[in-house]
Amino acid sequence: MKTEHSMQLFTDARTLIPGGVNSPVRACRAVGTDPLFVAEASGCTITDVDGNRFVDFVGSWGPMIVGHAHPEVVEAIRSTAGRGTSFGAPSPLEIDLAAEVCAAVPSLEKVRFVNSGTEATMSAVRLARGYTGRKMVVKFDGCYHGHADSFLVKAGSGLITLGIPGSPGVPDDIVKNTISIPYNDEAVLDATLRNPELDIACVIVEPVAGNMGVVPPSETFLQKLRQLTSELGIVLIFDEVITGFRLALGGAQEYFDVTPDLTCLGKIIGGGLPVGAYGGRSDIMDLIAPEGPVYQAGTLSGNPLAMAAGLATLGIVKQPGFYKELEEKSEWFGNALNAVAASLSVPVVLNRVGSMMTCFFTPDPVTDFQSASHAETDLYGEYYRQMRSQGIWLAPSQFEALFVSAAHERKHLEKALVAAESSFKKLMK
Ligand code: PMP
């Protein structure tokens, strides 16, 4: 595979942009290689600057559920752009998208648009603190909620530990207000939330974890979380930046039938343009400025291009049968990939919920961060490089999801299976 142009661009980029990339995983360091630069994408196909074509299973990390450059989305952006790209004043498309989002996700009585998932989670936590008058945030090890200071927390050791900064530049004083506990561990959850010394404002959770690789909630985890938070007056925030409009029209909360107080969205609702949103019960949402005292703002929030792209995308996913078809296709693909691995005795575990899945290079069940971290990242790196050389575009990290989109046809999935078989064979040598 020729990669000269990408390599030259990467060399140039590194002189101007830290690490040559505008978001760290893109640099492909975790999989022991350099990034390919993308020239264009259409449907489920990505073409790099050297003319190589790939079947894309990243989908821009989730947003591209209807495929790249979908004609309806492109047309919506084009026609909207001709009428101006930002006004700094309210415009009708914001109401249209708010209405679509609130209709699809019934726990959202009101919604506020922002520009990224990070802004959504950061603002939702501020709101939860403003609403409860309490301080502490509880999150789960291995869940990612964007790069705001409060979330860049490493779990310490011990049963209930206060956070320690996960990055230089994050003060201890900030993360001491964040507690990180194991995902899917109801006993620790119960003990933490009931601890009278902790002044807990909210619990934030990825209802299906996607950022330690895909890890589903255990059968009762989300219910237990709902029951405890309701009982204790703690705000429950579902971070559905990935799962929103991915698992169902109503997201993970519909899929698992658990209703949070606040929900964070992003990715799909912007159809590939920068967007985020947070919403929930009116009595909480009405505390946001200018209705209430909790401040949150944004120059480009409710941007018309993002609203138009989101509206066009939601128009497609709400067609009858959209999620059923996506589920069937994903199930077929997940099962087939598992079968290929099993036939070659490759020790992998495939976790899948709907159209998001991760093939972990470990023989043991992956149910939390601890078990995910048993995965052999070197093997994943080798697998990634093998797959890429055969035209399959995967996430450049073991701890990310593979996404199936509406644009994947049987032939694309079959191509990936053939590539997986040959990659697995090379790994097992
Ligand atoms: N929450 C979750 C669950 C995410 O996966 C991400 C990003 N991958 C974010 C929040 C942050 O979103 P953004 O990158 O748009 O800031």
Q: Is 144 in the pocket of ligand 1 (CB under 6 A)?
A: yes
Give the pLDDT confidence score for residue 295 in this predicted structure.
98
Decide if pLDDT at 162 tops 80: no
Give this prediction's pTM.
Answer: 0.97
Count other C-beta atoms under 10 Å from residue 332's C-beta.
13
pLDDT tens readout for residues 81-114: 999 999 999 999 999 999 999 999 999 999 999 9
Q: What is the bridge-based pairing of β-strands 235-239 and 262-266? A: parallel
Place of tokens 């191509």: 415
CA of 265 to the centre of ligand 1 (A): 9
Place of tokens 């799909």: 268
Q: Is 270 in the pocket of ligand 1 (CB under 6 A)?
A: no
144: annotated active-site residue: yes
Q: Helix-strand-coil percent breakdown of the chain, rounded to 5?
A: 40, 20, 40
pLDDT tens readout for residues 249-284: 999 999 999 999 999 999 999 999 999 999 999 999
Decide if pLDDT at 19 tops 80: yes
Q: Is 146 in the pocket of ligand 1 (CB under 6 A)?
A: yes
Residue minimizing CA distance to atom 12 of ligand 1: 117
pLDDT band with cut points at 50, 70 and 90 for residue 156: low
Among 70-84, 169-183, 236-250, name the one with the lowest average pLDDT.
169-183
Of 141, 239, 261, 368, which residue is the catalytic one?
239
Rounded to 10 degrees, what is the CA torsion of 272, 65, 104, 401? -100
For all residues of the chain together, what is the average pLDDT?
Answer: 96
Decide if pLDDT at 48 tops 70: yes
DSSP 131-181: HH---EEEEETT----S-GGG-EE--SSSS-B-EESSTTS-HHHHTTEEEE
Phi, psi of 282 (to 5 degrees): -60, -40
429: annotated active-site residue: no
Tell me the CA distances in angstroms from 146 to 57, 84, 117, one per residue in order: 21, 30, 6
Q: Is 21:27 a contact under the CB 8 Å cutoff?
A: yes
- In the chain, the amino acid numbered 38 is V
Domains and CATH numbers, the chain: 4-69+321-428 (3.90.1150.10), 71-317 (3.40.640.10)
Helix (H, G, I), strand (E, B) or coil at 422: helix
Of 48, 141, 144, 380, which residue is the catalytic one?
144
154: annotated active-site residue: no
CA 121 to chain centre: 12
pLDDT band with cut points at 50, 70 and 90 for residue 334: very high
